[in-house]
Amino acid sequence: MADVGELLMSVLSTIRVPKPGDRVHKDECALSFSSPESEGGLYVCMNSFLGLGSQYVDRHHARSGQRAYLHITRTRKAKEDDGNSGSGHPPKKKPTRLAIGIEGGFDVEQEQYEEDVKVVILPDRQEVTSEDLTTMPDVVRERVSLSMAGIMAADSVSHTLQVQQWDGEVRQESKHAADLKQLDNGVKIPPSGWRCEVCDLQENIWMNLTDGKVLCGRRYFDGSGGNNHALLHYQETGYPLAVKLGTITPDGAARYSHTVHVTERTMTELEIAVNQRVGEWEVIQESGTTLRPLFGPGLTGMKNLGNSCYLNSVMQVLFTIPDFQSKYVSNIDKIIDEAPSDPTQDFKTQVAKLGYGLLSGDYSKPAPDPGEENGAAEPRGDQIGIAPQMFKALVGRGHPEFSTNRQQDAQEFLLHFINMVERNCRSGSNPSEAFRFLVEERIVCQQSQKAKYTQRVDYIVQLPVPMDQATNTEELQEAERRREEGDSSAPTVRAQIPFTACMAALSEPEILTDFWSSAVQGKTTATKTTRFASFPDHLVIQIKKFTFGLDWVPKKLDVSIDVPDTLDLSGLRATGQQPGEELLPEVAPPPLMTPDVEVKGILGSHGNEEDDSLYSPLLSPVLDDSTVSQLCEMGFPLEACRKAVYYTGNTGIDAAMNWIMSHMDDPDFSAPLVLPGCSSGPGTTPTESLSEEHLATIVSMGFSRDQATKALRATSNVLDRAVDWIFSHLDDLESMDVSEGGRSAAESEGGRDPPPGPRVRDGPGKYELFAFISHMGTSTMCGHYVAHIKKDQQWVIFNDQKVCASEKPPKDLGYLYFYRRVAE
């Protein structure tokens, strides 16, 4: 023992006691999905507190020089039956907070484990137990014991993240709700058109639940909101409860108690109710069929971390694509060798870890027996699987939605992840190129018959759903008639939409009624036709099922579409400018201005060479305040509403709302309105610093730094807009005297380099379906996602930890479809 004591003494200076703020990874390996329950256990570095599986601890020792590790192993105890172990049972204590592992949150029954903890000294893996420490010098015993105790007592990073993501609002029940007094005074509240009975205000309107008084709400610190008339009414009458009009649904409403001062949102109540019945999510489209569980490489399930099925489904599909496999999984040893000192924060390392976990088969093993005496009646398909906690925390960090445990839109996450891949693949292979393609938009002025061509990069084809093309219209109308008559037995009929009708809606010309034509110097009608300027190796099609009703309430279209197994898009190939076709002059439209705007002339004293605008307004535009106010009441950001009214020329709420629907995904959607020609906006002067990250991203797409700089300056330093701009100004960029690599045109071979453009792959437009992601639920804010993937000519369903052979893949009900090119 003296030798071990001397060893510990020699490494004592590297052994640390965790302090507040230290990240302790004691549940999961930073480089694999090994855990204390895995074979070999988990080794926690007693200096950096990184967790390492047994296969990586020697490599970490060799790279870092660290020698002391806390070895943690856990063995599951036999579970005692408390009579309430069914998967669908609610928690023993009703939750009052949308949270996990904290007071008022969901009860999380912890598995019971036998735990063994000891210190291991590398490279010879000499072990030191707590009993051994009692015989060692005080200085050794104290430091090592404190470090061991600190590591074991510290909250692991994964647990801390889980609590942060689920730490929702507290639900408090007003003491007045149970015995609320309601006056029988004959007051009837209309379903719309509410006004404050005192000041006629039409926004932030509340109804008192005792006497039915309709009054405005509190005045906010900035002067907005209301005029406090609802509060004054409470102070005069003592009637304590009010409901905000416009938030009432069959499930509840936004309520206010003047004594509790807590607003309760319907979504919190619904989420808690959903999560209390988490066992119900195991019922999926193929639940009526006995499915055969599958195990092995490429057949690994993923644990649901709390509404993370959208992430699970997307990543299962992405890692069936060769580009992602070769980038991250084939090179995993090199990636790990080059990983930074904290690999938990490295994008490439965590993506490679996830990819290897899915494809290796190491974690594709049946889950442990749950302890039922007679076993399950049929194979359930549950796996040990992998829990992508580090990956989810990393890709969601800083994002207002993906950093939470709320349900998300799988399409939005796919684009978010592709964007992260683009940013992290500035050199070397870029797997997102598999999806990247060019779109050509041809706009023809109907008055002059002159055309304008622009190109933009895209990754997803958004396919409209023409409900008027349903083939079972009579059945739909009959079911609707019976529902309106109160027939509770009326069947639910799903609209049958031909896929050909969806494609026709995508390819048919769009009528633009307020197009500003540079040929006629005014607004006129134009047609816009969209075509493929290139065909990607892998094509993603999104069925636009999520839309808004006439009342602007989000809803999901319940449709069945006969999506084909093979697809030929050759007929949608762009042809470019036609022989004899004249192009619209390159002149920008004048901005919307107030009547008293002083105009100094076309590119006059306020113009500059970076300004593409025709005029330079000095004053702000006049905006229709009522339209802006209506849009804000719908919950959209103020600046987005101002831009919607500005860019639609004060033509009314419908046009502004359409603009908002078309630009909600813009990165600058909520940014302040910057008028063309104004020097106050970011990125409008040549001297303003540009984002190096944005410059590098555009350069990685095949453009020169000068071209990227020009694009960013022309678009207020906004990356997505700069990419769109650069593809719509290819002719201008060709004339620039700097080509790729910084060489002048004269230095290039004959000055005849190919025109600038993105790194897009192109080929035949013929495809075959290999995967699709389906959504169950009423909106992207709730529900469940599963993926079906074709593996060796067999459809496989990936439903979180369940991986089974699919018997009846519901190809007509998908949300995202993934096709790969068929070689001719």
Instruction: List the catalytic residues.
Output: 309, 784
Q: Is 199 annotated as a binding residue?
A: yes
The one-letter code for the residue type at 779 is S
User: Is residue 561 classed as helix, strand or coil in its secondary structure?
Assistant: strand
Question: Does residue 465 contact residue 545 with C-beta atoms inside 8 Å?
Answer: yes
What separation, in Å, do the N-terminal and C-terminal C-alpha atoms of the chain show?
72
Q: Is 196 annotated as a binding residue?
A: yes
Supply the angle between the helices 705-714 and 719-728 in degrees, to the nearest 10: 110
**Close Cβ partners of 189 (under 8 Å, ≥ 6 residues apart):** 207, 212, 214, 245
What the block records as the tokens of 816 is 């995202």
Q: Classify residue 301 as left (phi > 0), alpha (psi -120 to 50) or beta.
A: beta
**Close Cβ partners of 523 (under 8 Å, ≥ 6 residues apart):** 514, 515, 516, 517, 649
> H/E element holding 97?
none
Q: How many CB atoms lie within 10 A of CB 291?
A: 22
> H/E element holding 164?
helix 157-166
Q: Is 641 annotated as a binding residue?
A: no
CA distances from 75 to 55, 155, 159, 363 (A): 19, 20, 20, 17
**What CA–CA distance (Å, rounded) separates 42 from 50?**
10
Q: Classify residue 601 as left (phi > 0), alpha (psi -120 to 50) or beta.
A: left
**What CA–CA distance (Å, rounded) separates 367 from 361?**
14
Structure letter (DSSP) for residue 401: T
CA distances from 64 to 14, 57, 522, 610 (A): 11, 10, 68, 51
Question: Does residue 35 contact residue 27 with C-beta atoms inside 8 Å?
Answer: yes
**What CA–CA distance (Å, rounded) separates 252 from 265?**
8
**CA 87 to the chain's CA centroid:** 29
Q: What DSSP assignment string belongs to 236-302?
A: HH---EEEETT--BTTB--EEETTT---B-HHHHHHHHHHHTGGGGG--TTTTS-PPB--STT---B
What the block records as the tokens of 252 is 């509840």
Question: Does residue 85 contact residue 76 with C-beta atoms inside 8 Å?
Answer: no
Question: Does residue 216 contact residue 206 with C-beta atoms inside 8 Å?
Answer: yes
Question: Does residue 347 contact residue 391 with C-beta atoms inside 8 Å?
Answer: no
The one-letter code for the residue type at 443 is I
What the block records as the tokens of 322 is 């060769």
Question: Does residue 92 contact residue 86 with C-beta atoms inside 8 Å?
Answer: no
What the block records as the tokens of 412 is 């939005």
The one-letter code for the residue type at 625 is D
- Which residues are known binding-site members? 196, 199, 216, 229
- Which residues are known binding-site members for Zn(2+)? 196, 199, 216, 229
